[in-house]
């Protein structure tokens, strides 16, 4: 399904309810009646093209190829990525932690195994949090500085030095280890956890982990295929302007 | 898990390309890596750059370049080149392909044909013994205790290379990649004692 501006947002969500957290990141809350995407975006002052690009990308992995994303301001993208981080850290991850805690409290005979699971999850969360913090403290501010320099045509020497000493390409490869831990977590629950009586709770946990994984993959794809090329071209402009 | 079979499709017609993708998607462990229209510049380099196992080609999509591109593909002996042909495809074109899929066939026949073409690669799927050998269990314990590959090699009188091979096999058998994940597995199965793990330096 191609998501278009004159579509009813409610219909779109009936088709793909995984988009609910995505629209939340734009500040849209459920309860919008029969409004179209265009109406909602104009009410909330959301950049319509950017909204359509993100929702379509998220909905259909093949959408990317033919889009013309490059024309967006980078700060919109950075803002969206930050909202996504907030959603992980404040909502999704604590929710899964509560489910795992409940699983531990519900079992009597396998407490030790459940405790191991809980600790492993905590380790995963710590790693993910460190990764997110690095992006927010180092990568995004750098990206915004580049955009500001180009917009105002003012190129401080310090920034040029920064561009020369490290480039955005270094950040592309960082997602890997975090992904491996999540992969292990799913396999441990599916294959190696001692059978518990509360299988439905296990299902809820696995379901949440799969959704989180998909979301993280989309997130990484947006960073690698939109943010990185965009920043590379800004780095190029700045270096050539100085020399 | 067996190695995935990777497929490249060269098909201009959207409906045929989508159909081919859906067909390939029916088979476990077989993936469409990329779909090309056929008119891209430097198509041969691009396609071979993916190092595919199989290339499915619609001759109609290649036009006049057909023979030169096919020649380049056929130099790569590891790659199976499959023609998507209709009943009345002319013989000089048919003759170029050692494997064929017939556009006019029903889904069932196409799947059977495709399975035959992929052949051995598909059958090799899961090795039935996924249990760890005694040696692997011994090695897993050392990993969980926080030893490096070099330390494990010294302790068990193995080469570092052998240690790494064992570790790869353990990860493949268990489906667990990280050291902390392996530790959780070992603890759950009482292969190591929690006090030993907590004391690791």
Span A163-218, pLDDT tens digits: 887 766 666 555 667 888 999 999 999 999 988 888 999 999 999 999 999 899 88
For residue B88, how far is the Cα from the chain centroid?
34
* B83/B60 Cα distance (integer angstroms): 10
Mutation target vs B (from A182, A186, A192; most B CBs, 10 A cutoff): A192
| Structure token pair of residue B13 | 């017609």
Considering CB atoms only, which of B177, B180, B189 is closest to A123? Answer: B180
H helices within A26-110, ranges in order? 37-44, 48-59, 74-87, 93-106
| Residues of chain A positioned with their CB less than 8 A from the CB of B178 | 177, 180-181, 184
CB B183 within 8 A of CB A184: no
At residue A153 the predicted structure's pLDDT band, cuts being 50, 70 and 90, is confident
At residue A96 the predicted structure's pLDDT band, cuts being 50, 70 and 90, is very high
0.85 surpassed by complex ipTM: no
User: B174 at the A interface (CB within 8 A)?
Assistant: yes
* B92/A3 Cα distance (integer angstroms): 45
Buried b / exposed e across B24-60, counting CB within 10 Å, b at 16+?
beeeeebebbebbebeeeebbeebbeeebbbbbbbbb
| Residues of chain A positioned with their CB less than 8 A from the CB of B174 | 187, 191-192
Q: What is the mean pLDDT of chain A?
A: 88
CB A131 within 8 A of CB A99: no
Edge-to-edge order in the sheet of strand B30-36: B30-36, B5-10, B54-57, B80-85, B99-102
């Amino acid at each position: 399904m191609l998501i278009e501006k004159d579509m009813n947002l409610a219909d779109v969500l009936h088709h793909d309810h995984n988009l609910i957290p995505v629209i939340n990141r734009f500040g849209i809350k459920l309860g919008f009646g029969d409004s179209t995407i265009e109406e909602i975006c104009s009410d909330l002052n959301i950049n319509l093209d950017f909204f359509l690009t993100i929702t379509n990308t998220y909905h259909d992995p093949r959408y990317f190829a033919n889009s013309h994303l490059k024309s967006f301001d980078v700060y919109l993208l950075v803002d969206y990525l930050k909202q996504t981080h907030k959603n992980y850290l404040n909502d999704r991850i604590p929710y899964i932690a509560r489910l795992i805690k409940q699983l531990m409290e519900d079992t009597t005979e396998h407490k030790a195994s459940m405790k191991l699971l809980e600790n492993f999850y905590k380790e995963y969360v710590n790693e993910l949090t460190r990764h997110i913090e690095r992006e927010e403290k180092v990568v995004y501010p750098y990206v915004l500085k580049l955009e500001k320099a180009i917009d105002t045509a003012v190129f401080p020497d310090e920034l040029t030095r920064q561009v020369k000493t490290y480039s955005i390409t270094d950040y592309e490869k960082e997602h890997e280890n975090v992904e491996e831990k999540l992969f292990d977590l799913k396999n441990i629950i599916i294959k190696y956890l001692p059978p518990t009586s509360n299988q439905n709770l296990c299902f809820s946990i696995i379901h949440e982990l799969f959704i989180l994984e998909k979301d993280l993959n989309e997130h990484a794809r947006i960073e690698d295929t939109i943010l990185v090329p965009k920043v590379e071209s800004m780095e190029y402009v700045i270096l050539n302007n100085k020399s | 898990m067996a190695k995935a079979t990777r497929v490249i499709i060269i098909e201009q017609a959207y409906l045929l390309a989508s159909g081919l993708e859906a067909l390939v998607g029916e088979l476990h462990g077989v993936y469409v890596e990329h779909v090309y229209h056929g008119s891209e510049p430097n198509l041969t380099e691009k396609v071979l750059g993916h190092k595919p196992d199989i290339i499915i080609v619609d001759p109609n999509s290649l036009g006049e370049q057909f023979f030169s591109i096919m020649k380049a593909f056929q130099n790569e002996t590891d790659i199976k080149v499959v023609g998507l042909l209709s009943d009345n495809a002319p013989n000089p074109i048919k003759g170029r392909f050692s494997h064929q899929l017939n556009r006019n066939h029903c889904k069932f026949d196409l799947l059977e044909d495709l399975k035959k073409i992929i052949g051995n690669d598909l059958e090799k799927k899961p090795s039935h013994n996924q249990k760890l050998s005694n040696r692997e269990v011994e090695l897993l314990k050392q990993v969980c205790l926080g030893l490096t590959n070099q330390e494990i090699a010294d302790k068990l009188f193995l080469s570092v290379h052998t240690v790494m091979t064992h570790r790869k096999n353990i990860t493949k058998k268990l489906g667990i990649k990280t050291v902390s994940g392996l530790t959780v597995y070992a603890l759950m199965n009482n292969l190591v004692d929690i006090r030993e793990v907590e004391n690791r330096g």
